[in-house]
Amino acid sequence: MNALISTALAGVVMMFAGLFIRNKQHIKFVAIAALLIVSVANLAELSTIEGGSRTVLGMVTVSHFSILFNAIAFGATLIYFLLSGSAFEKVGEHVADYFALVFFILSGITLASSFSNLLMLFLAIEIISIPQYILAGSNKRTPKSSEASLKYFLMGSFSTGILLMGITLIYGAAGTFNIEELGLGNGDINPLALCGIILLAFALSFKVSAAPFHFWTPDVYDGSPTVFTSFMATVVKAGSFIAFIRIFHGAFTGTNISAHWQLLLSLVTAATLLIGNFTAVFQQSVKRMLAYSSIAQAGFMLFAVISMNKYATQGIILYAAAYSVATIGVFAVTMKLKDYTFDGFNGLARTQPVLAVTTAIFVCSLAGIPLTAGFFAKYFVLTAAVQQGNLLWLVVLAVLCAAISAYYYFRVIIAMYFKQGEPATKEEITGGFKVMLVITAAIVILLGVFPGLLLNLI
Amino acid sequence: MPVQYYIFLSIVLFCIGVMGVLMRRNAIIIFMCVELMLNAVNLLMVAFSKMWADAGRVDAAGAQIFVFFIMVVAAAEVAVGLAIIVMVYRKSQSVDINIMNRLKN
Amino acid sequence: MGMSLQQIVFGVLSIISIISALGVILSKNPVTSVLCLIVTFFTIAGHYIMLNAQFLAVVHIIVYAGAIMVLFLFVIMLMNLNAEIEPQKRSWLKYAGAISGGALLLVLLAALREASVSSLQPGAVEIGLISNLGKTLFSTYVLPFEVSSILFLSAMVGAVVIGKKEGHES
Q: Give the closest residue to C11 by CA, choosing from C60, C46, C41, C61.
A: C46
- pLDDT (tens digit per residue) in A264-308: 999 999 999 999 999 999 999 999 999 999 999 999 999 999 998
Q: Does A137 touch chain B (CB under 8 A)?
A: yes
Contact A138 C164 (CB under 8 A): no
A-chain residues within 8 Å CB-CB of B79? none
Residue C85 has a pLDDT of 57
Confidence of residue B76 (pLDDT cuts 50, 70, 90): very high
Is there a contact between A159 and A128 (Cβ–Cβ < 8 Å)? no
Of B18, B71, B77, the CB nearest to C63: B71
Residues of A in contact with B45 (CB under 8 A): 168, 171
B28: nearest CB among C75, C155, C163: C75
Which residues lie closer than 8 Å to A58 by C-beta, 6 or more apart?
A: A116, A117, A178, C140
Alpha carbon separation from C52 to A170, A227, A316, B93 (Å, rounded): 22, 50, 45, 46
Q: What residue of A is the nearest CA neighbor of C149? A: A8
> Would you state the pLDDT for residue B103?
47
Closest to A380 in 3D by CA, of A298, A451, A431:
A451
User: Which residue of chain C comes nearest to B12, CA vs CA?
Assistant: C105
Q: How high is the pLDDT of residue C83?
A: 58
CATH topology of domain C1-86: Four Helix Bundle (Hemerythrin (Met), subunit A) (1.20.120)
In this predicted structure, the answer to whether residue A105 has a pLDDT above a threshold of 80 is yes
User: B69 to chain A: which residues are within 8 Å by CB?
Assistant: 119, 122-123
Mutate to test the interface with C, among B35, B67, B94 (most CBs of C within 10 A): B35
Just give the CATH number of B3-99: 1.10.287.3510
Is pTM beyond 0.90? Reply is yes
Spell out the per-residue pLDDT of chain C, length 170, in tens: 467 888 999 999 999 999 999 999 999 888 999 999 999 999 999 999 999 899 999 999 999 988 899 999 999 888 877 655 555 556 777 888 889 999 999 999 988 887 766 777 777 677 888 898 999 999 999 999 999 999 999 999 999 899 887 765 54
For residue B103, the chain A residues in CB contact (below 8 A) are 143-144, 147
pLDDT of residue C24: 95
pLDDT of residue B105: 43
| pLDDT higher than threshold 80 for residue A50 | no
Residue percentage of chain B with pLDDT more than 70: 92
Q: What is the pLDDT of residues B84-94, one digit of tens each?
A: 999 999 888 88
The residue extents of the domains of chain C are 1-86
* Residues B50, C120: C-beta atoms closer than 8 Å: yes
What does pLDDT average to over chain A? Answer: 92
Kindly state the percentage of chain A with pLDDT values over 90: 73
- Is C143–A141 a contact, with Cβ atoms under 8 angstroms apart? no
* Contact (CB<8Å) A165/B14: yes
Contact between chains at B52 and A154 (C-beta distance less than 8 A): no
User: Cα distance from C143 to chain A (closest Cα, Å)?
Assistant: 7
Judging contacts by C-beta atoms under 8 Å, the chain A residues touching residue C68 are none
B87–chain A Cβ distance below 8 A for any pair: yes
For residue C90, what pLDDT is reported? 63
The answer to whether A31 and A85 have CB atoms below 8 angstroms apart is: yes
ipTM of predicted complex: 0.95
pLDDT, mean of residues A235-257: 90
Number of domains in chain A: 1
Query: What is the pLDDT at residue B93?
Result: 82
**Region for A283 from its dihedrals, namely left if φ exceeds 0, alpha if ψ lies in -120 to 50, beta otherwise:** beta
For residue range A191-207, what is the model confidence (pLDDT) as tens digits? 899 999 999 999 999 99
Give yes or no for A158 touching B (CB within 8 A): yes
* In the predicted structure, residue B51 carries a pLDDT above the cut 80: yes
pLDDT digits (tens, 9 = 90+) for A333-372: 999 998 888 888 898 899 899 999 999 999 999 999 999 9
- Nearest Cβ partner for B60 among C33, C127, C152: C127
Contact B55 C118 (CB under 8 A): yes
Rounded CA separation B41/A159 (Å):
13
With beta carbons under 8 A apart, name residues in chain B contacting C60. Answer: 42, 71
Chain A CB contacts of B14 below 8 Å: 161, 165
Chain C residues interacting with chain A (CB cutoff of 8 angstroms): 108, 111-112, 114-117, 140-144, 147-151, 153-155, 157-158, 160-162, 164-170
Compare CB distances from B80 to C63, C104, C155 and report the shortest one's residue: C155
DSSP-assigned beta bridge partners for residue A218? none
Partner residues linked to C119 by β-bridges: B2
CA separation (Å) from A269 to A125, A206, A212, A265, C7?
21, 12, 10, 6, 46
Nearest to B70 among A147, A164, A171 (CB): A164
Mind telling me how many Å the CA of C154 is from chain A's nearest CA? Answer: 6
In this prediction, residue A71 carries a pLDDT of: 95
CB pairs under 8 A between B and C: 227
Q: Is A107 an interface residue toward C (CB < 8 Å)? A: yes
Domain range for residue A34? 2-455
Q: Average pLDDT in the B4-31 region?
A: 93
Which of A50 and A413 is assigned the larger pLDDT? A413
- Integer Cα distance of A331 and A351 in angstroms: 19
* A/C interface, count of CB pairs below 8 Å: 98
